Amino acid sequence: MTQTLQLQARSNKPLVVAFVMGGTCAGKSTLLAYAKRTAPERVGLVEVGKLLRAKYPPDYFDGEAAPKHTQKEAWELFLSKTAERMRNPEIDLILVDGQPRDVDQACGIIGLNFDSYRPVWKRFLYLYAPRDIQEERAAARHLSHSTAGDLKERSAYDLAMDRIENDRRAYCDVLVTLVSNNVPVQVIESYGPEWGRPFGRMHVVVDQSLSSLPIDGNEWMSLYKEAA
């Protein structure tokens, strides 16, 4: 399916739209927050999951990354928020949090065209962290400051634990869909000292994306491995 996003761009500067994939607690929000701090006027965020979680209780999602009953709303939010960011001529990099999350979204994004005067480049990043790291991060996020009677945080933690497993299965299908359509995917190890230290992997991801330069496989060989 091919779809065109209509825009009235006021700039001819290149624009990168980077789709940041990865399971719950893989580091997506950390990467987005770091990019926004690094270049607040040049980076735009599209956080569909955050908008949906603010609107609905945890049990609405059934422990899944992209339950069927949220897909239409998630796609519409993605289109509207992406178009909104692209209309800002100061933004050079749009980071899309967690999309695509299922095969339908992947196919939709592959076929998505941008009716814009600006050259638009799509990039796909997959953040990988081992399961034990994801579980530690989920506990730190939801349980470290909550009390025993804090049911909301406990529910959020239970949802995160369910999604750690469900995300892995869902993203496997997404990655196969992307790679089988000859879409390059950069897999980034989002843990360990090389992830968050100054000028580490996180810095390189943001710096290379803001530079709007094509990715050179040899140059990135030490940081990335091809998705299979």
Domains of the chain: 3-226 (3.40.50.300)
Secondary structure E strands in 70-217: 93-97, 112-115, 120-128, 186-189
**End-to-end CA separation in angstroms for the chain:** 24
d(CA 44, CA 90): 9
Element containing residue 107 per DSSP (H, E): helix 103-110
Give the pLDDT mean for 38-60. 83
> What mean pLDDT, rounded, does the chain reach?
79
pLDDT at 100 exceeding the cut of 90: yes
Q: How far apart are alpha carbons 138 and 147 in whole angstroms? A: 15
pLDDT value at residue 224: 33
| Cα separation, 44 vs 36, whole angstroms | 7
**pLDDT-derived band at 103, boundaries 50, 70, 90:** very high
The H or E element containing residue 115 is strand 112-115
Structure tokens, 47: 């956080």
Contact residues for 139 (Cβ-Cβ < 8 A; gap 6+): 157
97 in Cβ contact with 47 (< 8 Å): yes
Radius of gyration of the chain (CA): 17
- Answer with the residue of higher pLDDT: 215 or 107: 107
Per-residue pLDDT at 140: 86
112-143 per-position pLDDT tens digit? 887 666 788 889 999 999 999 999 988 888 78
As a whole-number percent, the residues of the chain with pLDDT over 90 amount to 29
The one-character DSSP state at 223 is: T
Q: Tell me: pLDDT of 102 over 60.
A: yes
pLDDT of residue 181: 93
Q: Which two tokens stand for residue 73?
A: 């709303």
